[in-house]
Amino acid sequence: MDGGNSSKRTIEALPEGESSAMRLNVSIEVKILDCPICFEPLRPPIFQCSVGHCICSSCHDKQLDKKCHLCSDRTSFKRCFAMEHVVQSVISPCSNAKYGCTEKVTYYQKEEHESACQTAPCFCPESGCGFAGSTKVLLDHLTAQHKCPLTALPDSYTASLRLQPGLNALRCTETSYFFLFSMASEPFGHAISVVCVQPTVTEPNFTCNMKYDCTMTSYCESTSCDIRSSSLSDGLPTGYDLILPKGKISDDQKGIVLTANIRRPLSFSRPCLRGKAPAPAITQRPCFVFDIEDDDEPESFRRYRL
Ligand SMILES: [Zn+2]
Ligand SMILES: [Zn+2]
Ligand SMILES: [Zn+2]
Ligand SMILES: [Zn+2]
């Protein structure tokens, strides 16, 4: 019998096996499912010595002396199909089930799934609020509980936002992330930052061009920044992406009107943003580079020296 095919059949049978008639709920010591040498979860192919000690494929490849490190016997290792069936049939719910993940995975796939699970929780950044939930649930929470203004990101990926002090959400058609603009009133003016709220934090997935254009004061300001990604487990990221100096903006108490254009950066967008490499022909968008000429600038201005 071909062990590989047999293993495959077992995996494919798992969904049907979820019926109570087919499966048995058991409690099992986790260390039984771990390789006794490297302590990583056992996954096919699994090998055993002549006594029956099971080890993982990686540790098996390192047993050049053909000696079992557990019983010290010289031995020839063989595939242990029985143990492979066991590890393939031990499934458990994702740890984020309480946040809505319905995935059930084998023990050896659990860590891999959970590190990329799109239902992992994101956290409410409002001080004193410990709410956590999937991005969709957190967005509902922010708008319902904290009256956070919500704008939908149009297909053009350019949104006109009327920012209020505090948090402002920008919803996308994808539900695995959303953008959160924060506007703080500082002594020197309005300080604006943007973060992409998503459960698995990776390199910045997006860039944002922000533009403020006030016809009342003829003041215009714009910036381009990488959008940081965060589950907000440590609160909002520090630093600002755009400063609108006091006295140069029309503050009619109805909010600050800002145009935000969100883009997925190309892999070479970082040097382009810093003006260190020629912009590739396919990037037609302008790269804004500006400096603020004020020796007494507040510390938070510095982030934006590109
Ligand atoms: Zn191992
Ligand atoms: Zn052994
Ligand atoms: Zn999950
Ligand atoms: Zn909250």
Shared-domain flag, residues 200 and 247:
yes
The rounded Å distance from CA 89 to ligand 2 centre is: 24
What ligand has the least distance to the C-alpha of 56? 1
Query: What does the pLDDT read at residue 21?
Result: 53
- Give the pLDDT confidence of 191-216 residue by residue, as tens digits: 999 999 999 876 558 999 999 988 77
The rounded Å distance from CA 69 to ligand 4 centre is: 53
Higher pLDDT, 296 or 58: 58
Shared-domain flag, residues 106 and 140:
no
Shared-domain flag, residues 165 and 281:
yes
- Give the pLDDT confidence of 155-167 residue by residue, as tens digits: 888 999 999 999 9
What ligand has the least distance to the C-alpha of 92? 3
Mean pLDDT of 275-285: 32
Domain limit, last residue, from 115, 137, 157 = 115
Shared-domain flag, residues 7 and 99:
yes
Higher pLDDT, 50 or 273: 50
CA distance 148 to 251: 19
What ligand has the least distance to the C-alpha of 67? 2
The rounded Å distance from CA 141 to ligand 4 centre is: 6
**Which residue pairs from 134-142 have beta carbons closer than 8 angstroms and sit at least 24 positions apart in sequence?**
134/96, 134/99, 134/100, 134/199, 135/175, 135/176, 135/177, 135/178, 135/197, 135/198, 135/199, 136/175, 137/99, 137/100, 138/197, 139/169, 139/171, 139/178, 139/197, 142/167, 142/169, 142/180
The rounded Å distance from CA 185 to ligand 4 centre is: 21
Domain limit, last residue, from 115, 139, 160 = 115
Shared-domain flag, residues 107 and 126:
no
The rounded Å distance from CA 77 to ligand 2 centre is: 9
Shared-domain flag, residues 212 and 98:
no
Total domains present in the chain: 2
Shared-domain flag, residues 136 and 109:
no
Query: What does the pLDDT read at residue 69?
Result: 85
Higher pLDDT, 293 or 15: 15
Alpha helix (H) residue ranges in 117-233? 135-145
> What is the domain range of residue 19?
3-115
pTM for this prediction? 0.70
Shared-domain flag, residues 210 and 87:
no
The rounded Å distance from CA 50 to ligand 2 centre is: 6
The rounded Å distance from CA 143 to ligand 4 centre is: 9
